[in-house]
Amino acid sequence: MGAALFYHVTQSSIVDVVVNLLTRAVQQGWQVELRGTSLPAMEQMDDQLWRAGGPAEFLPHGLAGGAHDALQPVLLTTTSGATSGRQAILSVDGADVRPEELDHHDRVWILFDGMDGAAVTHARGQWKGLTGAGAKAQYWSEESGRWEKKSES
């Protein structure tokens, strides 16, 4: 069973954290499902990923629904379980992750905007749901200016 890592984003932008995590995952040879809650938000994320970094830092990715979804190192989607065989899920914008999904992925990252009260409340509910189902979870915060693990189940 994989672990769920909750990232309470307060100093960086969500996009910067997404790019950092995805870059490291792709460098390890992982395929990642980047899961959001709406197609317009994922199209915006797609645009931001194309512009992130420079040519030397290109992050290969694509929006779900194309002919080559299975080949994409990073697949942006709004549908849970749309991509099997991927090592990780990265959840943004409150996209849900089911406890049983941790059985099929090495890692699940759940990013949430620490300046958005509704996002914090939703993340707390996700934490309770996943840990209540027996999943291992870690809570990371950057409130001090660097990432620190604050809690672990």
* Mean pLDDT calculated for residue range 72-82: 86
Helix 39-51 to helix 14-27 angle (10° resolution) is: 70
Q: pLDDT tens digit string along 82-118?
A: 556 899 999 999 999 999 999 888 999 999 999 999 9
Q: How far apart are CA 7 and CA 63, in angstroms?
A: 23
Count CB neighbours of 83 within 10 A. 19
Please say if the pLDDT value at position 9 is more than 60: yes
User: Percentage of residues in the chain with pLDDT exceeding 90?
Assistant: 73
Please say if the pLDDT value at position 40 is more than 70: yes
Please say if the pLDDT value at position 122 is more than 90: yes
Pick the CATH number of 3-152 from 3.40.50.300, 3.30.70.270, 3.40.50.10110, 3.40.640.10: 3.40.50.10110
For the chain, domain boundaries: 3-152
